[in-house]
Amino acid sequence: MNATKEVQLLENSKVKLTIRVPTEDVRKQYDDILKEYTQKAHLKGFRPGKVPADIIVRKLGPALIDQTRSEVLEKSLSEVFESVEQKPIPYATPEIKADDALEIGKDFAFEVIYDTWPAVELGPYTGLEIDQPQWEITDEDIGRELKGIQEQNALFTDKESGDVEKGNIVNVDYVELEAGSEKQGTRRDAFVFEVGTGYNVYKIDDDVVGMKKGDTKLITKVYPEDFETSALAGKSVTLQVMLNSIKEKKLPEINDELAEDISEKFKNLDDLKADIRAKLEQAVKQNVRSRTVSRILDSIVETSKIPLPQSIVDYQLENMWQEYVSQMRIEEKKLVELLEAQGTTIEGLRKDWLPSAEKRAKLQLVISEVAKRENIAIEEGELDAEIAKMAAERKVTLEDLKESLARNNLVDYMKSNLRIDKLYDFLLSKTALRPGEKRKVLDILAGN
């Protein structure tokens, strides 16, 4: 088709195209459709392919016009989108305005409005100055990790006699009582928790201390208005608790034997400590790197001009919703019903998420623009080297890993991640990293 176009740039990276399809192209499309019908139509009294065109027109006139209109729209749009500089965003649906009816013997004009990729005016992204926290692995850090390993390797034995103490593991049945009767839906049997951790809804740790196996106890709790469980906040609750069993936790000694039990690669406790130190150092370095990159990107976003099409924000909001569904590990329909029962809607969540969605969109646009300007790309050799490294770490053959990545369509995803890492390396190399205040390792890993 020889469609002509007029391009008008609107706010927020919207484009309005006014497209005009000439009379002869409209007529040709109509004639082609009519010819196809005459060749394929089966009407009583006519042999296949011998139905006169005027008969087809009398029977299918409006339908022929509608089909012509549809195909003229589709073909002219495809042609114009191919040639226009401002391409539509793939996941945005163009809005087509064609108020005038298509008439054979006249030009056909219509408008299409769509979102295009915004022209990002980048702020400074090199020569920035960022403070990085100073840190060192201390004996306290090593000791904390060893304590965690000790807890993970604890043994639990039945405590047949004696009272419940802090640190014991208890198995209880409980139920709320109202006016001396069981409150429906509140019974829980064989609930297990460690006394003193607070890992129970009603926070009855102190209340079960001193109970013996087989004891039943009525516990009345008054919860503050700001209690973490909203269903209990500001309420007085009476629980009937029965203690089924008590287990004592016995911690292993932190010595060479514990190190050998954890892994055959450790010959003694010093080997385990060295491994802990190496892993902590790696974790802290990764955390500091990630936070530094985030600060660099935030600075670029703040100083850049980024017109943000609504379709890009909507795309991010939908991704956030799908991530939320995945995290909740519940069927989407049931999650919606659960939220509605709590007085929450998807629209309400989207409104709360809007600032984060806009920030996500701006960060991705900035990353894409910087990568384009600096020609950040991944060569096949770099990808192969990363896959070989992964194969060695996972102790699988290179061929098997490549096959697995290709089968699960992960090669492009992996290449994209490598490209982003390469971009981050570039940004870090162009940033003046100044020594900041000294921070504890635990605070850095906690993101404080």
pLDDT score for 61: 86
Angle subtended at Cα 103 by Cα 97 and Cα 108, rounded to the nearest 5 degrees? 45
Domains of the chain from N-terminus onward:
4-115 (3.30.70.1050), 155-250 (3.10.50.40), 267-445 (1.10.3120.10)
Distance between CA atoms of 200 and 340, rounded to whole angstroms? 26
Exposure class string for 332-351: b at 16+ Cβ within 10 A, else e: eeebeeebeeeeeeeeeebe
Distance between CA atoms of 119 and 282, rounded to whole angstroms? 38
Strands 236-250 and 216-222: antiparallel
* 3-class SS letters over 275-339: HHHHHHHHHHHHHHHHHHHHHHHHHHHHHCECCCCHHHHHHHHHHHHHHHHHHHCCCHHHHHHHH
First to last CA, the chain: 62
Nearby residues of 44 by Cβ (< 8 Å), 6 or more positions away: none
CB 121 within 8 A of CB 106: no
CB 406 within 8 A of CB 102: no
In the three-class reduction of DSSP (H, G, I as helix; E, B as strand; rest coil), residue 39 is classed as helix
pLDDT score for 101: 84
CB 86 within 8 A of CB 12: no
Phi, psi for residue 134 in degrees, rounded to 5: -95, 150
Partners of residue 217 on adjacent β-strands: 241
pLDDT score for 54: 82
Distance between CA atoms of 431 and 441, rounded to whole angstroms? 23
**Alpha helix segments (H runs only) across 396-439:** 398-407, 411-429
On the CB side of 76, CA atoms within 13 Å amount to: 26
pLDDT score for 90: 87
171 CB-contact burial (10 Å; exposed 0-12 / middle 13-18 / buried 19+):
middle
- From first to last of its 448 residues, what are the pLDDT tens digits of the chain? 788 999 999 988 999 999 999 999 999 999 998 888 888 777 777 777 677 788 888 888 899 999 999 999 999 999 999 989 999 998 888 999 987 788 898 999 999 999 999 999 999 999 999 999 999 999 999 999 999 999 999 999 998 888 999 999 999 999 999 988 999 889 999 999 999 999 999 999 999 999 999 999 999 999 999 998 888 989 999 999 999 999 998 999 999 999 999 999 999 999 999 999 999 999 999 999 999 999 999 999 999 999 999 999 999 999 999 999 999 888 999 888 888 887 888 999 999 999 999 999 999 999 999 999 999 999 889 999 999 999 999 999 999 998 999 999 999 999 999 999 999 999 999 999 999 999 999 999 988 7
Strands (E), 35-122: 95-97, 108-115
**Alpha helix segments (H runs only) across 329-379:** 332-341, 346-373
Which residue is listed with tokens 């409005």?
113
Residue 444 DSSP code: H
Q: Which of 371, 387, 385, 373 is CA-nearest to residue 421?
A: 371
Structure tokens at 62: 């409006």
Which residue type occupies 124?
P
Nearby residues of 368 by Cβ (< 8 Å), 6 or more positions away: none
For CA atoms 20, 25, 27, 33, give the dihedral sign. negative
Q: Which helix (H) or strand (E) holds 110?
A: strand 108-115
For CA atoms 302, 306, 310, 315, give the dihedral sign. negative
